[in-house]
Amino acid sequence: MSRNLKLYLAGAAMLLASLQQGVLAADGTSSTASATAAVQLIRPITVNKSADLTFGSIVKPSTGTGTVAVSANGSRAVTGTGAAALTSAAATAARFVIDGEGGQAITVTVARSFALKSSGNPDLTVTTTNDLPGGSTTQTLPASLGSDGSLTVNVGGAFDVSSATPTASYSGQFSVTAAYN
């Protein structure tokens, strides 16, 4: 094998190597470039209620106005002259469990207020409180892409009660919504 032929073969090998790397072909007549292509799939988001918000049984104030509050951790506080909560009917905060794709950003919307209704009586307006981390509606589900991320939010509430509030059983509904951004 002549020296020239060896050089030629070496050159050919280098040309092949450069082509395999996807760079400009050595003779400049062709060129290649690569791009990545990507898609992310995430599981549907769900919200499930695992506990209702219950205020229990409240004795209304004898005079004036008081408040009834159940915090997100389920503790109850009643104010007002003569007002009290009966220990026989426990209070609970509502609990919602949000499940979705780990690591994904979501927006959680808790109703700010809702009405407790009783037929024939004026509504009692409940203002809600919740324990979303940082008090923010924008959250990131724990865990990472490819596994389930679960976030629990507890919801409490407070309403005014006066000596004039009709005695009755009151109930109402409110919603918690979770959505990917």
Partner 1 sequence: MFSFRMKLAAIAIVLAAAVAPAHAQSTASTTATAGITVIQPISIVNNKNMNFGTFVKPSSNTTVTLSNAGVISGLTAVNTSGNAPSQAQFTITGEGGQAINITVPGTVALTGTGGSLTVTLTADSGTTGSAQVATLSGAIGSAGTKVVNVGGTVPLTATTASGAYSGTFTVTAAYQ
Query: Applying CB under 8 A, which residues contact partner 1?
Result: 22, 24, 27-45, 101, 104-105, 145-146, 180-181
3-state secondary structure of 25: coil
Nearest approach, Cβ of 147 to partner 1 (angstroms)?
8
Q: Which is nearer to partner 1, 61 or 149 (CB)?
A: 149
Min dist CB 143 to partner 1, Å, is 12
Nearest distance in Å: CB 14, partner 1: 14
Nearer to partner 1, 5 or 41 (CB): 41
Cβ partners under 8 Å of residue 2, min gap 6: none
Closer residue to partner 1 (CB): 40 or 73: 40
Beta bridge partners of 100: 149
Residue 18 vs residues 36, 123, 160: alpha-carbon distances, Å: 20, 79, 79
34/32 Cα distance (integer angstroms): 7
Q: How far is CA 65 from CA 52, 68, 77, 136, in A?
A: 26, 10, 14, 31
Minimum CB distance to partner 1, residue 135 (Å) = 21
32 or 173: whose CB is closer to partner 1?
32
